[in-house]
Amino acid sequence: MMTASTSPSAPFAGMMAAYMMSTPTLNDIHEAQDRIAGHAHRTPVFTSRSLNEQAGASLFFKCENLQRVGAFKFRGATNAVRSLADEDASKGVATHSSGNHAQALALAARERGIPAYIVMPQNAPAVKRAAVAGYGGEIILCESTLAARESTLSEVVRETGATFIHPYEHPMVIAGQGTAAVELLEQAPGLDMVITPVGGGGLLAGTAIAVKGLAPSIRVLAAEPAGADDAHRSLRDGQLHPSVDPQTICDGLLTSVGEIAFAVMQEHVERVVLVEDDAVVAAMRLIWERMKLVIEPSAAVPLAAILGDDLDVSGMRIGVILSGGNVDLGALPF
């Protein structure tokens, strides 16, 4: 395990700008399908008569909680890692994350035989550190502030030459996430709507590009905790609002929506539905009890939106992407 100072040698913003490219296309998503085949799982789509009755609709759950590393993040990380030229890949990849992206990038890098440098805050739970290390990531600890994470990452990239793979603000990551929606449309034809959770927006953006490219008549919506409502406010106001002091049980949805995702949202996403945490906990419990599926709170947000009063879904066929299943079994919210 490395240590590093928090004094940046290159501005983090400049590092971001170095790979900020155009919005990915449907063709990029199809290429990602080929690239990740044999690495990422083609996850199943499950249904539940009980939940259909409660919703008054036919629900088709795309089970990314059964994806490798337990989340959709492995798709995007694998696509990004396998998009690199051999010379760049040989120097490794790097990111700052204490969540699913860290584990996904570590495993994707290990499978290509290259290093993965993962900057994590010193207060990251031991179980998350162990998971990243178990997938082969080299952990660099820093202070718990965002500024410290960004500056430490800048220094790691300068020292190693590794390629920075952002958790969601990266075209190849977004394209990889979009492959889940392509599979969903193949597995559950005739959908009227697809809904995903939204945090940074990589999953939502990839989903929207895929769905609108393949079946433009399908409505694309997002669901978000009311205590972390930056995506809702951004889409409503037509300008990006940061996530400031978010308060929600959904720890995977705390980050601000990225610029690429926001542009896609403005073009393709009909609305962002807000839900309270108590509704998320109730939806999470329903999926555990009725479907026998382990999901994390973030993954339950779309079902909470469907079962709430703000969305009329009567008689619809709805695709729901269950984003992940990495939950602390010792600290369940029910």
All domains of the chain, ordered by start, with CATH?
A: 9-22+74-164 (3.40.50.1100), 26-71+171-322 (3.40.50.1100)
For residue 10, the model assigns a pLDDT of: 46
CA distance linking residue 230 with residue 265, whole number of Å: 13
Q: Match 């479907």 to its residue by tokens.
A: 291
| CA 12 centroid distance within chain | 21
Give burial (CB, 10 Å; 0-12/13-18/19+) of 10. Answer: middle
The one catalytic residue among 97, 98, 243, 323: 98
Q: Is 154 annotated as catalytic?
A: no
For residue 88, the model assigns a pLDDT of: 97
For residue 9, the model assigns a pLDDT of: 40
Tens digit of pLDDT at every position of the chain (334 positions): 544 443 444 445 655 565 556 899 999 999 999 999 999 999 999 999 999 999 999 999 999 999 999 999 999 999 999 999 999 999 999 999 878 999 999 999 999 999 999 999 888 878 888 999 999 999 999 998 878 989 999 999 999 999 999 999 999 999 999 999 999 999 999 999 999 999 999 999 999 999 999 999 999 999 999 999 999 999 999 999 998 889 999 999 999 999 999 999 999 999 999 999 999 999 999 999 999 999 999 999 999 999 999 999 999 999 999 999 998 888 888 8
The one catalytic residue among 62, 73, 128, 212: 73
For residue 7, the model assigns a pLDDT of: 40
Question: Contact 235/271 with Cβ under 8 angstroms?
Answer: yes
Q: Which strands, in side-by-side order, build the sheet including 271-275?
A: 45-46, 58-63, 317-322, 193-197, 219-225, 271-275
For residue 264, the model assigns a pLDDT of: 97
For residue 43, the model assigns a pLDDT of: 98
Backbone angles phi, psi at 248, to 5 degrees: -160, 155
CA distance linking residue 328 with residue 293, whole number of Å: 14
Longest dimension (CA), the chain: 57
Query: Three-state SS for 58?
Result: strand
Q: Is 62 annotated as catalytic?
A: no
- The helix (run of H) or strand (run of E) holding residue 163 is strand 163-164
For residue 16, the model assigns a pLDDT of: 59
Question: Contact 249/281 with Cβ under 8 angstroms?
Answer: yes
For residue 80, the model assigns a pLDDT of: 98
